[in-house]
Every structure is written in C-alpha cells, then in structure tokens.
Amino acid sequence: MPEPRISQAAAVKAASAEAARLNLKSASLLVLEQPRAKVLVAREPEKVMPIASITKLMTAMVVLDAKLDMGETLSIADADVDRVKMSGSRLQVGTRLSRREMLHLALMSSENRAASALARHYPGGKTAFIRAMNAKAHALGMRKTHFVDSTGLSQKNVSTAMDLAKMVSAAHQYASIREFTTADRHVIKANRGGSLTYLNSNRLLQTRSRDWNIGVSKTGYTSEAGRCLVMHARIGAKPVIVVLLNSWGKLTPIGDANRIKRWVEVHG
C-alpha cells in the first residue's frame, strides 16, 4: 500500500518535535530529504530572518547565469570596502583577480570584497545585480526572500529556512558552486608577488571530515543573523538539505549539524 499523504503543516509539527528532542540550538532550522523535499527536522522554518553570507549562494548563481567571462580580471575598489559592519579583508584595494578567483573566495571563505566586486562588475552594476538576485529568488519560489546587497552584510537581506532550502537545491545544480563551496583551501597570488592562503569557512570542510559527504556548503554570520550554516549533503544513502539559522555560539552550527547527522542515520 502507498504511504498515507500528510499535510506539510502536520509534517512540520512532527519535525519540530524531533528538533526539540535533539536539543538543537539554532533558532530556525530545516532538514529536508531530497528529492521529495520530505521534512525530517524543523523549527520555525517559515520565520523571516537575516541570512548574512548565505546570500552569497544567490550571488554566485546570478554571476553564473549571466555567462560572463570567468577569466576576466576584476579589481577591488574603495566601493567594495565594508562600510556597514567595518569587517576586515585581506584583499587590498587595487587587488586584481579573475572573476573565477573572486567567486571562489566569495563562496569558500565568504570574502565580502570579492562578492561586492562581482556585483559591481556585473552589466548594469550593483543595481542591476540586486534586481537579478531578487528575480532569481522569485523564479525559485522564494516568496519570503529579499536581497539588497551581494554580500549579506545588510540585515535587510532576509529569507526563511524553507526558502533557503530551495536556494541550496538550486545551487547544487551548478558545478562551480559545488566545487568552490566544498574546497578546503585555496591559494591566490597577492599583489606584491607573495601568496595568500584562504580556508573554507565551514570547519567540517577545513578538516576534510570523512564523516560528512558535502556537496554544497555556505556559512554566514552577522550580529543580527547569528551563526548560520546551509549544506547539501549525503547522509548514508540519503541526499539531504540542512539549513541552520541564528545558532548560538561559534561552533553551535557544527554541533547541530552533527546531531542532525546522527539522527538521520538512525531515524531518517
């Protein structure tokens, strides 16, 4: 006999009970089994929240959809310096890298100046880029999502765990996003002939943990958004999407992810 169909609301209610039993610390979270988008674990998945650098997955899709020359040299300008959070960067004003390198650093290490430069060098500039981000979100059915910048530094970049699951699923279709978000490190040539080594902002990938099979990864943090982590991963035989928003503490998303992994292996 076929499985009885249950409403999404009932599925989310049951999944929320699992989140409570697991003692997960993320304020909003969602675990979906693919490809059916079956809700496994959830907590307030429709709550609209700031998403910090999770934004950069959309930034990457807009860049790649435009089919721009990935070998073209882009430059870091004063306009790319963070005046919102005053965050630092090792990419000095005047740094010149290919569009491919800028995208790699934006995705793997959440490099804000690289993400800003990608938008600034888009046809029509940042205004056209933000318009394309919101159009892409609409096309993906992300009805509660809105972007105002390409970095995620603004607290006005908002979404929900449910919407972000759609974005992660779409991002997984891009080979470059899979490659760049799961690299453990990347070395670039600095302006003065030296080199700079960047690490993946997801500690699970820094250590190349054999416990995880991750296809797409993105972290984020601002004071408003808290610690955020999204992943497309295979747990056992199951492809799943994990969305963790506003987690407590620097390592809490990693702890939540590992608790979810152990639960899926047993119950999912």
Which residues, at least 6 apart from 72, have a Cβ–Cβ distance to it below 8 Å?
98, 99, 121
Q: Rg (Cα) of the chain, in Å, rounded? A: 18
CA 84 to CA 228: how far, in whole Å?
19
Span 31-62, pLDDT tens digits: 999 988 899 999 999 999 999 999 999 999 99
**What's the confidence (pLDDT) of residue 20?**
66
Supply φ then ψ for residue 110, to 5 degrees.
55, 40
- Whole-number pLDDT of residue 194: 81
- Residues 233-263: tens digit of each pLDDT: 999 889 999 999 999 777 889 999 999 999 9
Percent of the chain with pLDDT over 70: 90
Q: Which has more confidence, 12 or 227?
A: 227
* 4 three-class SS: coil
For each of the domains in the chain, give its residue range(s) and CATH number, in order of start: 8-267 (3.40.710.10)
Burial of residue 131 (number of CB atoms within 10 Å: 0-12, 13-18, 19+): middle
**Which of helix, strand or coil describes residue 157?**
coil
- pLDDT tens-digit profile of 54-82? 999 999 999 999 999 999 999 999 999 99
Span 182-241, pLDDT tens digits: 999 999 987 766 899 999 999 999 766 667 999 999 999 999 999 999 999 999 889 999
Bridge partners (DSSP) listed for residue 217:
231
pTM of the model as a whole: 0.93
Q: Which residues are catalytic?
A: 53, 56, 110
Q: Compute CA 233 distance to the chain's CA centroid, rounded to the nearest angstrom.
A: 13
